[in-house]
């Protein structure tokens, strides 16, 4: 916005030059270290005349008289006014403006000063996450933005993360926010074919990010209309600054290990537990050795093996990252070239992610009032993926194998093939699973500052993602048997985005500033893929489908959607006290039914800067206080491309194909609607030493897409309609404090937030997560609450598992299971946290900086579905967690672990037995850096040099007994939050690195 303003001024100067003859003043504007500041606005106060400084920081301006006042202003610096007087040479030095409130915040289609905001926006600068080995940009936000809940889900590299801005806003459509990078809405949803979603955002280099803004309330987000209900995350990449060319080189390297490994039975314990279980089976008195042999076909029961299978799933991971970035430019042209090489080895065997990325950001002034530019990025990433949590081939499922069985078969000297379940180490020797992504997010723009007040900007951007999945499984593997199998898929998504908009900015007087934006946007997304599966390979040296004897499946896919949108926004600042914002967007999309194709998404907001009132002005404690409120409507258009249509598709009879109806649609099917109300306070105390904001919001979502059941006798079973509703009410607190300033500085950033989600209307139906899963969506309850039988421990009299019915009566299992449904099932947990947030402390002294980030989640429940197999008192031969040793064995014994009875299912039904509190506090990031003294670095011809050590996920405090409380087994589906199923833990990563610029 400011640069645009400046150019406007230049235009005006041209006009004014013709009309008057005046005093000429010149000079030089510099920063604190005497460096020239280029592009500083030098304006004649009270008029619209002005100029900007050139490459050397010099300017020249004609003023009408010696009483004229010059106003020097520059982004990020404190504004200064100088009366001309008798001087004809006015050189000044501008001081940096460190006040958070004068920060410029990127909003949709423009920028605003933070103090003028009437909406709720969290901003993160790259400094907050520098020196940290981030896997993906979401990691930068985790624990740092109030109201934004992020769960990495799993320790697998390149896996999609769960990001929720202000709660859950949908039941069946997407709940992920819209990501906009340098103005282009980008692909963030998985495009691969694997059960567990991949994360296209993992292909962006975090080093290229300058800032991240999260638009949370409706007044901030409604400008993105039908795509904004889940919040909008704006990412701005770094750009060059005029001045000398700067070269920045950074490198770090490190190792990683699991945050925690669980404990399992060793061979002796295993034998003891299962011998007891065999002897006490409901089906008879068995012998452990005999039953073990019947189930595994081996006599390993009698062996001396004591294999630690669970540890075989892990390896020591590591990371190497090299980033080179060159930036600079002159008054006309600025540029930034950046290249990053990132190589990560996961903590799970076979898991790796390697990324090479390059970027060129270029700005050029064609004329004083016309600017063009481009952002070009190219990435190649190779992700060696790990199978879905639910697959026998998932390395973590190795923990189910009995310790009595050897890893290497002594008979063959090869990996043991005669294990209880598949020994998936074989997969690593005889197969691979590579996902290669090529991606370019690139855009060009032109900006024309038409008049002093008006400017016009036109942007064209492309997000091009190509994912190549290449998998081979040899004949020795579970999935490749008996002849070897290969799968190959090529998926491409191309989003094209065009946007044109006018911006208006006018200071009518000191009492009224008006800014406005009006424009249009067109977005077109095409998704195509081709895949093939081949079988029958000569041997494992041949892995491409060209060598397959038969093609057993092949397919192509193509789908498209488009949005046409018009938007406008007006912001007024009256008497520097009152702020008013109005915005509206009309969104039309091919996804919406023909009878409901265009939606209108308005927002209104207001702010009142109390600290400008006389009773607070000059108050020594409160230097800034603003009340704000907003209301607006947004939509969720992630409803599928053709959900409104009645469709016919192909089906097959042998070698013949036919057509069948596949979907019944309604022509008025459309986006899901969210109305959001937000009130907040922004404040600054003690001259901004302490600043922060408080927010309360209420988000009511209506027209949720639900499947209405139809009588199947008419040929269709469901119709999707805009039927349901839910609400999220929540609060957020974010505080920044400069605790100590001076030589030793200490600053703290703290945020905490919570929300209550309630599904208010599901048209009387419920959505269940599945037979083994606990998640449920039901009216009057939070999204995904846990619903099922309530475990009540063990009957001390007989060792039977007990369950508490909804009437409060405790039954032994056999009696319990014959109760009617309504008595058996109840609410047994809630995966939604009560509150969550983070705290960051940064200490600096003499070049040393110590930064500690804590992150916490409280009051959420987790459900370990794998409990059915691994913590079930020896019901089948899966190895058990060590806590199972405390099983019931004699009358009167009080314990929580039922009597082991092989095959008998004692305590093995779905229940809250495996539901636990998932609260945790994590030392998410610790960084100690040292900036080498200036005279030292100068001697080495460096502008500056920093060395650092950094740790991610250093400590975790939790009562959860599973691997890691930050878990979300995505294969279980959208309904089942907080489920754990052989899900790998997060990695603890320790790195050392340096950064140098010259």
Contact footprint for another protein (CB under 8 A): 450-451, 456, 481-482, 498, 500, 520, 522, 524, 550, 552-553, 557-564, 566, 588-590, 597, 641-642, 645-664, 666, 709-717, 719
Q: What is the DSSP letter of 284?
A: B
Angle at 935 between CA 931 and CA 939, to 5 degrees: 105
**Least distance in angstroms from the C-beta of 525 to another protein:** 10
Beta carbon of residue 446, minimum distance to another protein (angstroms, whole number): 12
Minimum distance from CB of 732 to another protein (Å)?
37
| Alpha helix ranges (H) inside 804-941 | 813-817, 821-824, 867-870, 934-939
Which stretch of DSSP H or E encloses residue 364? strand 352-367
Task: Report which secondary-structure segment, H or E, holds 292.
Answer: helix 288-296
Instruction: Find the shortest distance in angstroms from Cβ 713 to another protein.
Output: 4
Query: Is the CB of 216 or the CB of 569 nearer to another protein?
Result: 569
Kindly state the smallest distance separating residue 930's Cβ from another protein, in Å: 54
- Yes or no: say if 929 and 954 are a contact pair by the CB < 8 Å rule: no
Integer CA distances (angstroms), 345 to 158, 315, 355, 384, 874, in order: 11, 9, 12, 9, 35
State the minimum distance, in angstroms, from the CB of residue 502 to another protein. 9
DSSP notation for 876-903:
SSS--BGGGGGB--STT---SBPPP-TT
Q: How near is the Cβ of 40 to another protein at its closest, in Å?
A: 27
For 272, 280, 679, 812, 914, the CA distances from 900, given in Å and listed in that order, are 11, 7, 56, 15, 17
Which residue number, 490 or 564, has a Cβ lying nearer to another protein? 564
Helix (H, G, I), strand (E, B) or coil at 360: strand
Nearer to another protein, 22 or 564 (CB): 564
- Minimum distance between the CB of residue 656 and another protein, rounded to whole angstroms? 5
Task: State in angstroms the smallest separation of the CB of 371 from another protein.
Answer: 16
Instruction: State both tokens at 644.
Output: 């409104």
DSSP tag of 176: S
| Nearer to another protein among residue 523 and residue 734 (C-beta) | 523
**How far apart, in whole angstroms, are the C-alpha atoms of residue 727 and residue 166?**
10
Residue 32 or residue 549: which is nearer to another protein going by CB? 549
Residue nearer to another protein on the CB measure, 151 or 369:
369
Distance CA(856)–CA(833), nearest Å, equals 10
Smallest gap from Cβ 648 to another protein, in A, equals 4
End-to-end CA distance of the chain: 30
Report the residue number, 637 or 734, with the smaller CB distance to another protein.
Answer: 637
Q: Return the number of other C-beta atoms located less than 10 Å from residue 970's C-beta.
A: 22
Residue whose CB is less far from another protein, 464 or 561: 561
CB of 388 to another protein, least distance (A): 16
Give min distance, CB of 455 to another protein, in A: 12
Asked whether 659 and 649 are in contact (CB, 8 A), the reply is yes
Going by C-beta distance under 8 Å and a sequence separation of 6 or more, which residues neighbour residue 275?
287, 288
CB of residue 563 to another protein, shortest distance in Å:
8
**Which ranges of 46-187 would DSSP assign to H, the alpha helix?**
137-141
* Cβ distance to another protein smaller for residue 566 or 930: 566
Give the span between the Cα atoms of 994 and 502, in whole angstroms: 44
314 vs 567, beta carbon nearer another protein: 567
Nearest alpha-carbon partner for 151 in 141, 925, 229: 141
For residue 560, the minimal CB distance to another protein (Å) is 5
Q: For another protein, which is the closer residue by CB, 297 or 780?
A: 297
H-helix or E-strand spanning residue 13? helix 2-19
Give the CA distances from residue 874 to residues 625, 863, 888, 893, 916, in Å, rounded to whole numbers and listed in that order.
Answer: 62, 20, 12, 18, 21
- Could you give the CA distance from residue 570 to residue 584 in angstroms, rounded to a whole number? 9
Pick 451 or 761: Cβ nearer another protein = 451
Kindly tell me the burial class for residue 19, based on how many C-beta atoms sit within 10 Å of its own C-beta (0-12, 13-18, 19 or more): exposed
The number of beta carbons lying within 10 Å of the beta carbon of residue 283 is: 10
Whether the Cβ atoms of residue 443 and residue 184 lie closer than 8 Å to each other: yes
From the list 880, 886, 916, 912, the residue with the least C-alpha distance to 899 is 886
CA 223 to chain centre: 21
């Amino acid at each position: 916005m400011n640069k645009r303003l400046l150019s406007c001024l230049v235009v005006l100067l041209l006009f004014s030059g013709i009309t008057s003859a005046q005093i000429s003043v010149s000079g030089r504007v510099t920063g604190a270290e005497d460096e020239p500041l280029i592009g500083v606005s030098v304006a004649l106060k009270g008029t619209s005349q002005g100029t900007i400084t050139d490459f050397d920081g010099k300017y020249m301006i004609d003023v009408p008289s010696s009483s004229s006042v010059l106003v020097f202003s520059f982004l990020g610096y404190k504004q200064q006014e100088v009366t001309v007087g008798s001087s004809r040479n006015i050189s000044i030095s501008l001081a940096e403006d460190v006040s958070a409130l004068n920060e410029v915040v990127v909003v949709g289609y423009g920028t605003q000063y933070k103090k003028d905001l009437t909406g709720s926006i969290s901003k993160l600068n790259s400094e907050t996450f520098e020196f940290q080995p981030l896997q993906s940009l979401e990691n930068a936000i985790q624990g740092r933005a109030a109201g934004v809940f992020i769960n990495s889900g799993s320790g697998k590299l390149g896996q999609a993360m769960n990001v929720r801005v202000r709660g859950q806003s949908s039941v069946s459509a997407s709940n992920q926010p819209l990501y906009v990078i340098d103005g282009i809405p980008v692909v963030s949803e998985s495009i691969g074919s694997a059960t567990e979603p991949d994360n296209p955002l993992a292909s962006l280099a975090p080093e290229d990010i300058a800032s991240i803004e999260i638009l949370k309330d409706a007044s901030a987000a409604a400008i993105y209309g039908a795509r904004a209900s889940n919040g909008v995350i704006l990412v701005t990449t770094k750009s060059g600054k005029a001045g000398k060319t700067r070269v920045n080189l950074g490198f770090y390297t490190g190792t990683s290990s699991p945050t925690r490994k669980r404990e399992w039975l060793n061979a002796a314990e295993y034998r003891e537990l299962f011998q007891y279980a065999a002897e006490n089976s409901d089906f008879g008195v068995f012998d452990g050795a005999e039953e073990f042999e019947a189930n595994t076909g081996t006599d390993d029961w009698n062996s001396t093996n004591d294999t630690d299978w669970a540890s075989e799933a892990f390896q020591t991971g590591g990371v190497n990252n090299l980033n080179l970035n060159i930036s600079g430019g002159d008054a006309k042209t600025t540029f930034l070239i950046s290249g990053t090489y990132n190589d990560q080895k996961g903590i799970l065997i076979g898991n790796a992610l390697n990324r090479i990325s390059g970027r060129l950001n270029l700005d050029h002034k064609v004329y004083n009032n016309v600017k063009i530019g481009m952002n070009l990025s190219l990435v190649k990433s190779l992700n060696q993926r790990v199978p879905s949590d639910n697959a026998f081939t998932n390395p973590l499922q190795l923990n189910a194998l009995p310790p009595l069985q050897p890893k290497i078969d002594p008979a063959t000297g090869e990996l043991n093939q005669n294990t209880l379940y598949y020994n998936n180490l074989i997969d690593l020797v005889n197969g691979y699973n590579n996902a290669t992504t090529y991606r370019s997010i690139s855009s060009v723009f032109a900006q024309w500052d038409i008049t002093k007040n008006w400017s016009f900007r036109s942007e064209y951007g492309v997000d091009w993602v190509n994912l190549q999945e290449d998998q081979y499984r040899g004949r020795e593997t579970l999935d490749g048997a008996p002849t070897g199998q290969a799968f190959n898929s090529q998926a491409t998504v191309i989003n094209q985005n065009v946007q044109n908009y006018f911006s208006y900015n006018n200071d009518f007087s000191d009492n009224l500033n008006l800014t406005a934006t009006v424009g249009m946007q067109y977005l077109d997304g095409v998704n195509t893929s081709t895949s093939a599966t081949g079988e029958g390979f000569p041997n494992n040296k041949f892995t491409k489908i060209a060598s397959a004897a038969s093609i057993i499946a092949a397919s192509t896919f193509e789908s498209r959607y488009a949005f046409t949108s018009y938007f406008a926004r007006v912001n007024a600042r009256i008497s520097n006290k009152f702020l008013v914002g109005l915005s509206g967007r009309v969104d039309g999309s091919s996804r919406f039914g023909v009878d409901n194709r265009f939606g209108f998404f308005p927002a209104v907001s207001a702010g009142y800067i109390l600290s400008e009132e006389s009773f607070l002005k000059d108050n020594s404690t409160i230097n800034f206080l603003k009340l704000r409120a907003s209301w607006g409507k947004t939509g969720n258009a992630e409803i599928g491309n053709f959900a409104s249509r009645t469709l016919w598709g192909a089906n097959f009879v042998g070698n013949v194909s036919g057509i069948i109806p596949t979907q019944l649609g309604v022509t008025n099917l459309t986006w899901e609607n969210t109305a959001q109300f937000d009130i907040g306070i922004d404040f600054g105390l003690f001259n901004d030493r302490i600043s922060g904001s408080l927010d309360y919001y209420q988000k009511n979502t209506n027209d949720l897409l639900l499947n209405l059941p139809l009588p199947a006798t008419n040929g269709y079973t469901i119709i999707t309609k805009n039927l349901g509703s839910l609400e999220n009410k929540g609060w957020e607190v974010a505080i920044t404090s400069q605790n100590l300033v001076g030589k030793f500085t200490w600053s703290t950033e703290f945020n905490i937030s919570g929300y209550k989600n309630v599904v208010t209307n599901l048209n009387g139906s419920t959505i269940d997560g599945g037979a083994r899963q606990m998640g449920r969506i039901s009216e009057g309850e939070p999204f995904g609450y846990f619903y099922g039988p309530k475990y009540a421990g063990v009957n001390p009299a007989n060792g039977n598992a007990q369950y508490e019915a909804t009437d409060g009566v405790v039954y032994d299992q056999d009696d319990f299971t014959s109760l009617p449904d309504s008595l058996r099932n109840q609410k047994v947990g809630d995966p939604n946290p009560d509150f969550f947030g983070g705290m960051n402390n940064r200490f600096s002294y003499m070049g040393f900086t110590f930064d500690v980030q804590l992150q916490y989640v409280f009051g959420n429940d987790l459900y370990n579905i794998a409990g059915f197999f691994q913590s079930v008192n020896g019901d089948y031969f899966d190895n058990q967690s060590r806590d199972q040793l405390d099983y019931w064995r004699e009358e009167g014994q009080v314990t929580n672990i039922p009597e082991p009875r092989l095959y008998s299912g004692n305590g093995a039904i779905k229940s809250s037995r495996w539901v636990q509190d998932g609260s945790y506090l994590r030392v998410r990031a610790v960084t100690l850096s040292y900036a080498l003294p200036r005279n030292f670095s100068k001697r080495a011809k460096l502008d500056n040099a920093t060395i650092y050590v950094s740790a991610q996920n250093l400590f975790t405090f939790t009562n959860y007994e599973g691997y890691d409380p930050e878990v979300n087994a995505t294969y279980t589906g959208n309904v089942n939050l907080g489920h754990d199923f052989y899900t790998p833990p997060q990695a603890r990563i320790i790195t050392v690195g340096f950064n140098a610029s010259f």
